[in-house]
Chain A
């Protein structure tokens, strides 16, 4: 049975419950989120949703269903609708669709396609109302494909108090991980650029998050490893990622920081990535928020000659934001990005720009957008 067939069956079972077992509205919750943006860069480089002559972008719209047929069983499903308004047509994806059986607060079993618990933002990566910037820090959550949208398999999760003041939340999971990868350094390999899907099998991952609620602090570590299959039964190499994160959240302030180390031992082109960011946001009034972020990424390709365009391996992004929050469910964001490096800020015709020596290493992006959730 293919993965998509399994997911459709799981969703169909949810939607086709017999009348005798129908879920009342108190046991079914429907939520969603989405966003719109306009982005304009100052040169030929495209970055995030911006390009030189401006671009309007309808961010994917997502809708989620949470059903609780019994006290211990919960079914979560989330659908993503992308490319709304684009000529090629709407793309529909299943972000996650899994069943959770709660043995206790400290032990819950999840089976299906589950959001990969990694870092601060990965489980909520598309929800714009949960962060101060329109887009996530690209060094960790960008198109390099370091973290997956979801894993297909099984996992356990739970939480536990550690004494009077501390709390611990944990995750352990295994299965297969889907990665959407758009590697600009394929230029060095004479391979076509563009997003492609990679799958990491024999996946094992986990995370620990410690919280000190009285001090509004939490910190933790996430990690995963698995092997990439490049053809049937042919293993291309092992992937390994580890992330350290810390958050300080109060009514006025949100301060977040992460550091990632990633090792892709895919042969014959292994790569290593170091990425980190610091993000600080503060409410000046109940509705107006300002924020700043420094986002850094460096990729090493030990077996490839990258002298033709070393800026494709690095990126530093200093960003500022001015946001107006109508309430926690609707926000308008004005973001400015000052980018040094071409890891993610690239012209459409990269090869020509490099050959002619016109690749601009510095890019400025103005982005105005609205994000909502319900």
Chain B
């Protein structure tokens, strides 16, 4: 088999391997609107925000969490590390909240760009995007 064909066959394999590795090692950063004075959040605060147990920033403004949708590898990692629940357990939690009339899940967006656009346009918004995402126009906050 010619050398060129061997290289061409390796390309899709390499691309697939990169995707798998990216999914496994997906890292995120938490972002807020630039007008938000917050510069850091504890994991507990972030968990409370995304479980909608904390609804107001310290300055009195309403918190608007924006989540990634299920297809994002970030969502599973964020749910496990911050909220302390795997994706399925989180779904069950929101089912309980919805059907008991106690709350609804955060808004979901389909991509980093959509999350960033939402946070830019909503002064109380907080979301998470991949570390590599271009976060120009929003503020990255530290998670303690």
Contacts and interface: CB of A to CB of B under 8 A. Distances in A.
Interface of A: 26, 29, 31, 33, 62, 64, 66, 68, 71, 76, 78, 96, 98, 100, 102, 104-105, 114-115, 117, 123-124, 127, 129-130, 157, 159, 167, 213-214, 249, 251, 327-329, 373
A108 to B, nearest CB: 9
10 contacts: A29-B98, A31-B99, A104-B55, A105-B56, A114-B101, A117-B100, A130-B92, A157-B102, A328-B91, A373-B95
A66 B56 contact: no
Given A130-B95, A373-B95, A76 B101 contact: yes
Interface in B49-105: 53-56, 62, 84, 86, 88-89, 91-92, 95-96, 98-102, 104-105
Contacts of A157: 102
B84 A115 contact: no
A325 to B, nearest CB: 8
Nearest to A26: B107
B101 A159 contact: no
Contacts of B86: 251
Given A124-B95, A124-B100, 18 more contacts: A29-B98, A68-B104, A71-B62, A96-B101, A105-B53, A105-B54, A115-B100, A117-B100, A123-B102, A130-B95, A130-B96, A130-B99, A213-B84, A214-B84, A327-B91, A328-B91, A328-B95, A373-B95
A31 B101 CA distance: 11
A245 to B, nearest CB: 14
Contacts, number: 67
Contact of A129 (B53, B95, B104): B95
A266 B125 CA distance: 54
Contacts of A68: 104
Contacts of A249: 89
- The secondary structure that dominates the A interface is strand
Q: What is the interface residue range for chain B against chain A?
A: 20 to 34
Nearest to B66: A26
A159 B55 contact: no
Interface of B: 53-56, 62, 84, 86, 88-89, 91-92, 95-96, 98-102, 104-105, 107
B104 A29 contact: yes
B91 A123 contact: no
A76 to B, nearest CB: 4
B115 to A, nearest CB: 13
A373 B105 CA distance: 15
Interface centre among A62, A114, A130 (most CB of B within 10 A): A130
Contact of B95 (A62, A114, A115, A127): A127
Contacts of B91: 327-329
A31 B100 CA distance: 12
A66 B95 CA distance: 13
Contacts of B88: 251, 327-328
Contact of B55 (A66, A102, A115): A102
Contacts of A124: 95-96, 99-100
Contacts of A102: 55
Q: When A and B form their complex, which 8 residue pairs have the shortest distance between CB atoms, in order from nearest?
A: A123-B100, A76-B101, A328-B91, A71-B62, A66-B104, A127-B99, A29-B104, A124-B99
B89 A251 contact: yes
A342 B101 CA distance: 35
A68 B105 CA distance: 12
Contacts of A66: 98, 101, 104
A157 B107 CA distance: 23
Contacts of B99: 31, 33, 62, 64, 78, 123-124, 127, 130, 373
Contacts of A76: 101
A103 to B, nearest CB: 10
B143 to A, nearest CB: 17
A209 to B, nearest CB: 12
A355 to B, nearest CB: 44
Interface centre among B53, B92, B99, B105 (most CB of A within 10 A): B99
Nearest to A123: B100
A327 B87 CA distance: 11
Nearest to A117: B100
A66 B107 CA distance: 13
B92 A328 contact: yes
Contacts of A159: 53
Nearest to B88: A328
A58 B96 CA distance: 22
Nearest to A249: B89
Nearest to A98: B101
Nearest to B100: A123
